[in-house]
Structure 1
């Protein structure tokens, strides 16, 4: 299989960053941004800017009928996943591959329920420090997209097809043979970084240096590690060290998505992070006081929106 047409839904920080990259390496009609008519009208009027350069995107509505895309990349927030899955229906054909860059550990399962597991590759975006304010995106590190089957001994046909495509457009990626464990590791990092940076109103630098803020982040991450010991993909201290090292590579002035949500007074993905932790803690009988504290603090902050 050769990937020639790609569809992206969700123009948050990741969506804009990835769409901009692909737009520089593909013919105009090979990249489709899926959005409703109202959004498309606004997008065309206001435009998008990435590191001060205006992006050139082609848009299609969910209702338009066309040849299916070879690759669908979902970059919406988790609470927009159900709507996105319906919106990309006309983009999904017999051989379409679907990848989700959504945070958390559940989106692939939800996508598989709608379109079949055979179409879905597991995916984790890591190492980026993109910040999107309004229609303007800034970043220093694009990071990599790690992908693969849930667990595999060698790359499958779909994995090989995506790798060839990414090579052809100079897109940074890694192939992982145990994506389920990679997702749990990224989940551990997000639970710590996103929530701690948001609650303490800081940036990556605030959790890169020793002190109370970093200690809180690590404590939240260790609670996730404790939960993972009750699954088939347990994390250990080497995983914690790996993800903390990934954090150290990010631009100190960058901010994760939850912090950006708070600044814009948007409701965040707390249910995806500490909300999930608390549910799993109840199921496994694990104490998670730091995540409970973060969950309560985030709820208090959001109450102040009204």
Structure 2
């Protein structure tokens, strides 16, 4: 099998980032952006821009009958996952490889229940500093996609494809640990930057924000022991180094959501940590504070 047809659902930061790169390398009709009619109309009228360049995307509606994708990339927010799973039905065939670029540690399981675990390759997008404001995406570092799994043939097919389209990647034989490591980073950096109304620079330097971020990450480390993943100090250092490569002026997705007065993925981060803490009797005081502060901020959206 060779990957020729690619479908993407979700034009947030990662959907635009990797969609734009794929659009430069694939025939226009071989890359399909799945969206409803209203979104497509808005995308066509207002445009979608990546580093100032208008993206020439091929849009298709969910109900359109089409040839299944060889690679399906799901890049929606977690609260849009259920709708996305329904919307991609026409694009999933027997041999389709599915990648989830969602944050958190649960999306692969949810997608796998709908379309089969054998189609999923565990995946983490890391190292990018993309910032999306309305229809404009800007970034300095494209980052990379890390993936792996037991389906060796699919892993090799995807690696060959990423070589072809020049998307940086890394194959990791221990993707569950990588997934939890990225979750640990997101729990710390996304929420802390949002609460401090700052940027990556605020957590790259010593100070109250960085202290809070690392404390939140350590709570995830404690939980990882309970589920058999066992994140270590070495993993903490690794992800802090990843954070250190990002543009200080950049902002994670949750901070961008709060700034734009959109409801965030807080349930995916501290919401998940607090629930797991209760299940495994692990204290999570820092994540409880972060959860409460972000929920308080969001409660004020409807009051003004």
**Is 1:212 equivalent to 2:178 in the alignment?**
no
**Is 1:243 equivalent to 2:239 in the alignment?**
yes
Task: Say what the alpha-carbon RMSD is for the aligned residues.
Answer: 0.7
Q: Residue 265 of structure 2 corresponds to which residue in structure 1?
A: 269
How many matched pairs?
302
Shift of 1:244: 0.4
Partner SS, residue 246 of structure 2: coil
Q: Residue 55 of structure 1 corresponds to which residue in structure 2?
A: 55
Q: Residue 305 of structure 1 corresponds to which residue in structure 2?
A: 301
Q: Output the CA distance in 2 between the equivalents of 1:286 and 1:94.
A: 42
Q: Residue 257 of structure 1 corresponds to which residue in structure 2?
A: 253
| TM-score normalised by length of structure 2 | 0.98
Q: Residue 25 of structure 2 corresponds to which residue in structure 1?
A: 25
Shift of 1:66: 1.0
Q: Residue 225 of structure 1 corresponds to which residue in structure 2?
A: 221
Partner SS, residue 121 of structure 2: strand
Shift of 1:303: 1.1
Q: Residue 110 of structure 1 corresponds to which residue in structure 2?
A: 110
Gaps of 5+ in 1: none
Partner SS, residue 226 of structure 2: coil
Q: Output the CA distance in 2 between the equivalents of 1:6 and 1:242.
A: 32
Q: Output the CA distance in 2 between the equivalents of 1:100 and 1:290.
A: 28
| TM-score normalised by length of structure 1 | 0.98
Deviations 1:129-177 (A, max 9, x none): 000000000000000000111xx4xx61111111111111111111000
Q: Residue 200 of structure 1 corresponds to which residue in structure 2?
A: 196
Q: Output the CA distance in 2 between the equivalents of 1:289 and 1:48.
A: 40
Q: Residue 11 of structure 2 corresponds to which residue in structure 1?
A: 11
Partner SS, residue 267 of structure 2: coil
- 1:283-298 maps to which residues of 2 (within 5 A)? 283-298=279-294
Partner SS, residue 122 of structure 2: strand
Shift of 1:231: 1.2
Q: Residue 87 of structure 1 corresponds to which residue in structure 2?
A: 87
Deviations 1:235-279 (A, max 9, x none): 010000000000000000000000000111000000000000001
- 1:132-151 maps to which residues of 2 (within 5 A)? 132-149=132-149
Q: Output the CA distance in 1 between the equivalents of 2:28 and 2:54.
A: 15
Shift of 1:232: 1.8
Partner SS, residue 95 of structure 2: coil
Q: Output the CA distance in 1 between the equivalents of 2:116 and 2:52.
A: 40
Shift of 1:46: 0.6
**Is 1:179 equivalent to 2:175 in the alignment?**
yes
Shift of 1:304: 1.2
Deviations 1:154-204 (A, max 9, x none): x61111111111111111111000111000000000000000000000000
**Is 1:73 equivalent to 2:73 in the alignment?**
yes
Q: Output the CA distance in 2 between the equivalents of 1:23 and 1:199.
A: 36
Partner SS, residue 272 of structure 1: helix
Shift of 1:82: 0.6
